[in-house]
Structure 1
Amino acid sequence: MENRDGLPIDWKCMMDYSSAMIQSIDLQGNFLYYNDAFRKTLGYTDNEMKYLNVWKLLSPSSRRTYEEVLQLVKEGKEPGERELTFVSASGGEVVLSGLISISKSTTGEIYGTTEFYRVYAYVDAPFYIDKSFRKEHDAQKSLDYPHGNYDGNMVLGLADLNSPVNRFLDSIYDLVFFKDIHGVYRGCNKNFAELLNLPKEQILGRNDYDLYTDEIADIFVSKDQQIFKDLTPRKNEEWNTRNDGSRNYIETLKTPYFGPNNQLMGVLGVSRDITERKLAEERLEENERLLDIYFTQSLSGKFFMMLDHPVKWRQENHDSALKEIYHNLKMNRINPAMVSLYGISEDALLENTIVKEVFTDIEEGKDHWLSLLHKGHHQMVLEKKKKSGETLYISSDYTCLYDSYGQVLGFFGNQRDITKEIHAEEERKTRELYLQKILETATDGYYAVNEKLIIIDVNEAYCRMSGYTKEELIGSSIFIHTVKEEEEGVLERTKKILETGSALFESRHQKKDGTAFDVEISVSVLSDPDTIFINFIRDITERKQLESYFLIEKDLFKNTIHSAADAVISTDDHGIVIIMNSMAEQMTGWNQDEAYGKKLEEILHVEDRNGNPIGDIAKDCISRSETVEFSQDHRIVAKNGSAVFVELSASPISGSGSETIGAVVMFKDVTRRRAEMKNIEDLSFRDALTGLYNRRFLNETIASKEELLGLPLTIMVVDVNGLKLTNDAFGHSVGDALLQAVGRICKEVTRPGDIICRTGGDEFVILLPNSDRAQAKALKDRIVSVASKTHVESMHVSLAIGYSVMRHSEEHFDDLFAEADNNMYRNKLRYGKTVKKRTMEKLVQKLNTKHPEVINHAKEVSNYAIKLAQVIGLEENELENIRLAANYHDIGKVMVPKELLKKKEKLTDKEVSQVRKHAELGYQLLKEVDEYKHIAEVVLSHHEWWNGTGYPQNLKGYDIPRAARIISVADAYETMTGKHSYRKPLSKEDAVKELRNFSGIQFDPDLVELFIQKVLNEI
């Protein structure tokens, strides 16, 4: 007979009253049994023991020892004799020594341990001994303490400092001393004497009050008295501070000493320097503390999955070992980042997580498992689906954990959400492809070179200019197309461009066939991460020819200027305007007659990117005798105050000699080109439907400006209720109109500085700088109020809104966004169903307006179907379902053109297919509304035929839902006998005949007969 502890009654009684300390522990460290001797020794009550396990009672160092004990037990190995330190109820420590044995059930299964202990020593609290611990005394003073009457040879031998006993003690590394029952030192070794910095002669015959300060002597004497009282060893730690500030630790074990006749003679003390051990323990504790901080505070998810027992991994027989490992791994420990990553509680993760959810399935991902177990380490990217349907990408790193025998204990995992990085990379590639397309279709040439002046990219336009192919240019030095006379200036010009960041200049390039051509080059420098020079090249051979013609003949030059496509103004050597062509007149607002004789700076007002005026560029180029160029970041301000961005250059004109006789200024309007480039950039940040910012803009704003957004910052998530149902019911054009209406509402009620983004199909996010919770609540109420007054296709706009407020810069935006998103979903759960139900009501109204015959037909079908259902004895809830399904069986026809439903002529195959879609459309609409989703399958199947030739699923016989078979009979009869614009009604007799003709083909034969006999005959 056994009691509830699984122990035989007679054995339990023996252990209950045994003076030995006895306990039984399971494999997790929980108490299966303990006797009073064990409990009382540690000073706990029975009630306190109910809430304790062995881990809470052991000292930190003994916990590690006990982990080894349980591991040996799990492996079937006997732990044997062990010495463990337990913490008592008073906070002190007691060293217990004894035998630990394996405990097995009657079936031989190991379930824990049985442990028998005895008190080895009581551990006193550590105390500090300062440098003045020793009391000075007169070494010559004669001391007379009672010696007692002892029989032991050891005590007699200690009196003689040269005795064999003393020589033996001096050879011991530990510090040894002996005090009699009066506290008088009767013996010690030289190491103990050195600790006190006294010769033995000045120690022996004295007590603690002679050698130590009274405070320390009181401690030593009280501990000695406790030993004499309970005759049990005591252990304590003491430390002092060295001259260098470090600590010196000493551990002392005092044991009662008995003579040959078992009489108590005194205390034998053995002390040992444990400084190195204590320092090692402190380092270990610090390392464990730092590791725990790293584990719990890491931003990446970390977890341990451990096996119940170690498994030997052998590559030659890995299938069975792999299955054993896979099916026995359990989540052991996770950090807060892991909880945040998966969005479920820590308890749920620990209790319910299976291996494939954090790694991969053993069948589909066998190669990943083999890689991890062969190499001990594996990396991969997991794809997980959130509840919202969004894909989550997780970068995962796994490491095998082994025991000292090389057996697998489990593995450690490190996971990080890289969804944003994946999406950012995809967006970057898309944008690069888009920009590459622009470059390829541009008429200007383009090429990019690295800091070594090697061409790394080029477009087709420059290939046409130079006569080279892409393959010939990419990887070649730019000197492949540089004329010899320009080569020396290339490096110097490169240095200047690196300093300024951009440049606009003219050069001469050489084609593949050796001919040279003049080019204008606009260069910009990109320096993240590598230095890249972006070059846009225009062939200006014709322009240069015009300049040369001017030197030949003034009239020819004038005619050429007037025919040039770019704006041209020529001045004399004092910067006075002489000639300007029609394009220059248009761009400046000055005509030739008005401008002639005036200074160029009066006619041509040039500003830099910051709006600062540029001086007289004609005089500048004349004084420098070189071309002055300005990039498209400059603009000119016309006479009427309008401004346009330009590319501009001013070149000196030389006379027949070397003198400069004037300047020619050429410029062209690049406003449109700048706008196109700006538009390209804007398109990548805008939602095409609403014109609001998109998710990409939101992500970049948060990444680059989070610290600039004023606190408190409100993050508001707005979700459009019933968008999918609206799209299905009324078409995507109505759904688009609904989204546009929501965008207008958000813009109407927010402030100019607020940021509104459409981040998904039906989701909007609003950032409200300098807005607290009260302001956020007010904005939410305004949005709801305006939305309730806004109609799209006669439907109210309904929104689910949630928000959160960031008050401190230390808070993470992702956490606040998740909080707002959760609040939105709670709001959506509260009102979403109502919106869907209203949408269905609007849909029925639309159907009644568009096809009134369909509604009347549905009512009649419902009446017939209910009567037939009553005949076969269906329950009230089934009757209600059939009534609903019959009323809505043609709801999908709201999407079918009116003319098809009223067409009297035979429908074409395409038209038949279009009409037949109404069953699937009705199914899609109904399953979106909780109140109607249970009848969706019935509506989908009401055109299935008994013989399996119906639509849309070709169901047959009893595979067709019974409610659908009932509605099919009622529908057919009403269609034949009812009044419809597209056909004449049949008589009751003819309709009955048709039903019987198709009984067993289209209709359930049993239902046809019941309908005819029980329903129609009673009408």
Structure 2
Amino acid sequence: MRDIASSIAGTGFKHMRAYDEILLKNLTDHLPVTLYQFIRHPGGQLQFLYVSNAITGIFGVTSEELLDDRAVLIKKVHPDDINDLIESIDHAIDKLQVWDCQFRVVLPDKGLRWVRDVARPVRLDDGSVLSYGYWEDITERKKTSDWLIYLNTALMNISESIIISNIESQIIYANQKVKDLHGYDPEELIGKQADMMNVNPMSEEQLSELIRAMDEGRTYSGVEMSRRKDGSTFLCEFSLTPIHGDEQATCIGVQRDITERTQIMEALAESNERYKTTLLSVGEGIISTDCDGSITVMNPLAEKLTGWSQQDAAGKALTQVLTILNEQTGKTSRNPADIVLETAAAYQPGFPTLLVSSSGKEIPVELIASPIKNHSGETSGVVIVLKDFSEYRERQKQIEFLSFHDHLTGLHNRRYFEKAIKNMDVRANLPLTIMTLDVNGLKLTNDAFGHAAGDRLLRAVADILRKACRGNDLIARIGGDEFVVLLPQTDASMAGKIKQRILRAASKTKLDTLVVSLAVGYSVKTSFRDSIEGVLHNADKLMYKEKFSQGKTMRNQTIDTVLKNINSRFEQEQIHTERVSQFCFLIAGALKWSADKKSEMRIAGLLHDIGKIMLPAQLLNKKEKLTGEEFEIIKTHAETGYQILRSVDEYTAIAGFILHHHERWDGSGYPAGLKGEEIPIQSRIISVADAFEAMTAKRIYQKTRTVEEAKKELLRCSGTQFDPAVVKIFLESVLNEPPA
């Protein structure tokens, strides 16, 4: 009878070719992290066993340099971080705990960079501790995190008291300045009424104006007496700004103590010299006029804001120097000095104002004009206080940008999209197309290559959408891997062209080994009677239908990519995995398993050694017998393979088979020491197929056995290492020869 096993080992696999080791090297070189292994010997000596070439991009040294001398790495670490880093790692190794730490490195060409170090130590039989892990450049992620902390810190330390209230006028947030201004700890105010510190209730006229401002979405401001916790009162300036689109907060209140400013104005009436001296020293722009409205004094900040010097402005009419615009209408506002001189009362515009400097620059300012009284109580002039609101406006813009944009891609976020889709649902935008997109394989990219690679993929998709869409189209990232585009005045034909433009751009985009693949669906609202929610739902259905149809192709591409990289790293590895895969498939067939189960076993055989990606090549290709310490390192590949595959939905079951394919029937295997039928049947099949192929293959570290010798070895180990039933079916049905 023809020996089928020999045929498989010979002509049946002549079409297979070993991939060059450089392919796997390229994989590890292009991973967003640097993989490494090092060992601490019983005497305390440290030695790196393996470092991937990606280290150059993070530390500016080669793997060979580090393997020769680990001191080259320490020299790159920021001096202030070295001691803490060494202490953390030593402690983790002593306790056999996973460490996850961050430190800085200083590179000549890149400057200061942040690095994350994650590793797991394992104690070996001889007392050595083997650690394997990775380094990752987290500089950009750190910048984003630091920026958010900065914004929060700025809010807590801003010079004004800030209170946020809900629709019931109950306080839900107060910053630390509240304690300085009112004497209350922020926590004391939570749940209290927002007007509890007002000395006098609002008049009906004021209340009506406030409600109108809130409805129109503009800021309402004024001056009021406020009461501190100890009962004392002070004059404060306030502004109330509505918040739209937030389920909790409805209003932000900003207060500042203007007692000092008021006292200054009162002092001006008593002494002109004291008035001038004070004006020149305060931290706000101040302009004073005489009773005719001609400028008498300008302090340095007023000079800076207007672009006029005190010398040039003195004696000129205020209207020549100070131009104020209503920011809402763009029209020039009436001269504030004229208003005060007519009414003999303080004046503050009830609208946002812009100061136009001599150069034409428009500066947002807060303006208060008050009369200067002489000893007779008559108005002898006007003092105008100008506060530059540029930084405040910029802070508002930054907060608004963060609340409506995705920080990773810069696109609009879900919150903005939900507001925009309602605003765009008008007749003028018909036909209105909604296009939804999903990034295929993002989860696998994150799991296999790290979240930094996944972030690069998402940013690349965002760039593709920006370039493919038009200026009036709205693009948003509404979920982890989900994007949506609103296309006004776009029919199905035009939407189809835009979709193809996006897909062509995606197919041409290369991110090292990453593939940009998108599932796209769109639906068109042609009648105003159509529900916009229904159009969105239909677009989602079409997108998921396309995603489902692409799933098998994406999985096959993923398998091919993984196999090409792992097989190219070790000699004969491709032949080994494909032979094991074929044996697993044939055994499953002999067991009368379904086509799906047989296919699952074929894939499990192909991927059973995927965890070897983390093993040093010199260890697997070693000709001499492995030491106990080296074998412990080899044993980690089963658990590593499990970790790689378990987060990928379609490989979840296979991950468990691979985890246990080195368990033994008698319970002496690894990693869990399972025994007998505790071991998954799929793992037992892989174990027999793997052992037979290894015995009959050409390996540099062992003598190749004949098929007969290998069969005898399987029989000898049946019931101890292998499942007797699997050995029997393999010999009788796969090799077509009953055991002797």
TM-score range normalised by the length of the shorter chain? 0.5 to 0.7
Which residue does 1:366 correspond to in 2?
Answer: none
Contact between 2:563 and 2:606, CA under 8 Å: does it hold in 1?
A: no
1:562 to 267, 274, 280: 280
Other-structure match for 1:763: 482
SS of 2:352's partner is: strand
Instruction: Tell me how far 1:748 sits from its aligned partner.
Output: 0.9
Residue 650 of structure 2: aligned partner: 928
Greater radius of gyration (CA): 1
Q: Within 5 A, what are the aligned runs for 1:790-809? A: 790-809=509-528
| 1:968 matched residue in structure 2 | 687
What amino acid sits opposite 1:466 in the alignment? Answer: H
Report the Cα offset of residue 437 of structure 1.
11
Contact kept in structure 1, 2:665 and 2:720, CA below 8 Å: yes
Which one of 316, 336, 352 corresponds to residue 598 of structure 1? 316
Match of 1:505 in 2: 222
Does the CA-based 8 Å contact 2:590-2:729 persist in structure 1?
A: no
Alignment-mate amino acid for residue 579 of structure 1: V
Asked whether the 8 Å contact 1:572–1:663 carries over to 2, the reply is yes
Q: Which amino acid aligns with 2:523?
A: S
Q: Write the mapping of 1:642-653 to structure 2, written as runs, cut at 5 A.
A: 642-653=361-372
Matched, 1:444 2:163: no
Mapping of residues 49-198 of structure 1, within 5 Å = none
Q: For the structure 1 residues 717 and 589, does the alpha-carbon distance in structure 2 shift closer, same or farther, using more than 3 Å as the test? A: same
Letter in 2 for 1:521: F
- When residues 545 and 895 of structure 1 are mapped into structure 2, their CA distance, relative to the original with a 3 A threshold, is farther
CA spacing shift, 1:918–1:847, aligned 2, 3 Å: same
Query: Is the alpha carbon distance of 1:635 and 1:994 closer, same or farther for their aligned partners in structure 2, counting shifts above 3 Å?
Result: farther
Distance 1:734 1:508, change over 3 A: same
- 1:675 Cα shift? 3.1
Alpha carbons 2:172, 2:249 under 8 Å: kept: no
What residue is the counterpart of 2:238 in the other structure?
521
Q: CA deviation at 1:649?
A: 0.8
Q: Is the 8 A contact 1:631 1:648 kept in 2?
A: no
Segments of structure 2 that go 5 or more residues without pairing to the other structure are 1-150
Alpha-carbon contact 1:789-1:796 (below 8 Å) kept? no
Give yes or no for the alignment of 1:725 onto 2:444.
yes
1:448–1:457 CA contact under 8 A, matched in 2: yes
Change over 3 Å in CA distance of 1:499–1:794 after alignment to 2: closer
1:741 aligns with 2:463: no
Q: Structure 2: how far apart are the matches of 1:772 and 1:511?
A: 62
Q: Deviations over 1:981-1016 (max 9, x none)?
A: xxx935679x9999999875554478789999999x
Q: Kindly, what percent of the aligned residue pairs are identical?
A: 35
Q: List per-residue Cα deviations over 1:317-369 (Å, max 9, x = no partner).
A: xxxxxxxxxxxxxxxxxxxxxxxxxxxxxxxxxxxxxxxxxxxxxxxxxxxxx
Q: Which amino acid aligns with 2:275?
A: F
How does 1:612-691 map onto structure 2 within 5 Å? Answer: 612-630=331-349, 633-691=352-410
* Residue 922 (structure 1) shift: 5.0
Q: State the superposition RMSD in angstroms.
A: 4.9
Within-5 A mapping of 1:192-271: none
Take 1:860 and 1:700, find their aligned partners in 2: how far apart are those partners?
57
- Whole-Å separation in 1 of the counterparts to 2:683 and 2:415: 48
The aligned residue for residue 779 of structure 1 is: 498
Cα distance in 2, alignment partners of residues 688 and 749 from structure 1:
21
CA contact (8 A) 1:946 1:1003 kept: yes
Q: What residue is the counterpart of 1:138 in the other structure?
A: none
Summarize the alignment of residues 887-902 of structure 1 with structure 2, pairs less than 5 Å apart. Answer: 887-894=606-613
Displacement, 1:752?
0.9
Q: Report how far residue 917 of structure 1 moved.
A: 3.2
Taking a change above 3 Å as real, the CA distance of residues 681 and 948 of structure 1, as seen in their structure-2 partners, is farther
| Conserved 8 A contact 2:325-2:355 | yes
Q: Between 806-815 and 786-795, report the one with greater CA deviation.
A: 786-795
The answer on 1:465 being equivalent to 2:181 is yes
The answer for the alignment partner of 2:429 in structure 1 is: 710
Find the counterpart in structure 2 of residue 985 from structure 1. Answer: 701
Query: 1:492, 1:625 → 2: CA distance?
Result: 21
Match of residue 261 from structure 2: 543
Q: What is the CA–CA distance in structure 2 between the aligned matches of 1:736 and 1:657, rounded to whole Å?
A: 71
Name the stretch that deviates more: 840-849 or 905-914: 905-914
1:909 CA drift (Å): 13
Task: Give structure 1 stretches of 5+ with no counterpart.
Answer: 1-434
2:163–2:171 contact (8 Å) kept in structure 1: yes
Query: Hey, what's the Cα distance between the residues in 1 that align with 2:674 and 2:461?
Result: 43
Letter of the 1:601 counterpart: T
> SS of the residue aligned with 2:426?
helix
1:455–1:478 Cα contact (<8 Å) kept: no
SS at match of 2:386: strand
Task: Give 1:965 deviation, angstroms.
Answer: 3.0
AA in 2 matched with 1:643:
E
Partner of 2:295: 577
Tell me the TM-score normalised to structure 2 length.
0.64
Between the two structures, name the one with larger relative contact order (CA 8 Å, sep ≥ 6). Answer: 2
Equivalent AA in structure 1 for residue 182 of structure 2: S
Cα distance change, pair 958–438 in 1 and its aligned pair in 2 (3 A): same
Q: Tell me how far 1:780 sits from its aligned partner.
A: 1.5
For residues 862 and 539 of structure 1, do their structure 2 counterparts lie closer, same or farther at Cα, with a shift above 3 Å needed?
A: same
1:565-601: CA deviations, max 9, x gaps?
Answer: 2222222222222322222222223333333333322
Secondary structure of the corresponding residue to residue 816 of structure 1:
helix
Paired with 1:900 and 1:634, the residues of 2 have a C-alpha distance of: 73
Paired letter, 1:924: R
Contact persistence 1:652–1:662 (CA under 8 A): yes
- Look up the SS of the partner of 2:650 in the other structure: coil
Q: Which amino acid aligns with 1:614?
A: S
2:640 aligned partner: 918
What is the distance in 1 between the residues matched to 2:606 and 2:650?
17
For 1:897 and 1:577, locate their aligned partners in 2 and report how far apart those are by CA, in whole Å.
Answer: 81
Whole-Å separation in 2 of the counterparts to 1:611 and 1:954: 79
Instruction: Tell me the distance in 2 between the aligned counterparts of 1:527 and 1:736.
Output: 30
Distance change (3 Å), C-alpha of 1:862 and 1:479: closer
The Cα offsets for residues 370-393 of structure 1, whole Å up to 9 and x where unpaired, read as xxxxxxxxxxxxxxxxxxxxxxxx
Q: CA deviation at 1:892?
A: 4.0
Kindly tell me the number of residue pairs found equivalent between the two proteins. Answer: 567
- Note closer, same or farther for the CA distance 1:862–1:754 as it changes in structure 2 (3 Å cut): closer
Assess if the C-alpha contact under 8 Å between 2:444 and 2:648 holds in 1. Answer: no
CA contact (8 A) 1:926 1:935 kept: no
2:576 is the alignment partner of 1:860: yes
TM-score (norm 1): 0.48
* Superposed CA offset, 1:393-452 (max 9, x none): xxxxxxxxxxxxxxxxxxxxxxxxxxxxxxxxxxxxxxxxxx999987654235589999
Q: Does the C-alpha gap of structure 1 residues 928 and 899 become closer, same or farther in structure 2, counting only changes over 3 Å? A: farther
8 Å Cα contact 1:625-1:652 kept in structure 2: yes
Indicate how the Cα distance of structure 1 residues 808 and 450 shifts in structure 2: closer, same or farther if over 3 A, else same: closer
Aligned equivalents of 2:306, 2:668: Cα separation in 1: 79
Counterpart of 1:170 in structure 2 is none
The one-letter code sitting in structure 2 at the alignment partner of 1:691 is G
Mapped partners of 1:712, 1:868: distance in 2:
55
SS at match of 1:928: helix
Mapped to 1, the partners of 2:543 and 2:250 lie a distance apart of: 46
Over 3 Å counting, the alpha-carbon distance change for 1:597 and 1:973 in structure 2 is farther
Write the distance in 2 (CA, Å) between the matches of 1:709 and 1:951: 68
**3-state SS in 1 of match to 2:315:** coil
More moved, 541-550 vs 798-807: 541-550
Query: Relative to structure 1, is the Cα distance of residues 759 and 951 closer, same or farther in structure 2, using a 3 angstrom cutoff?
Result: farther
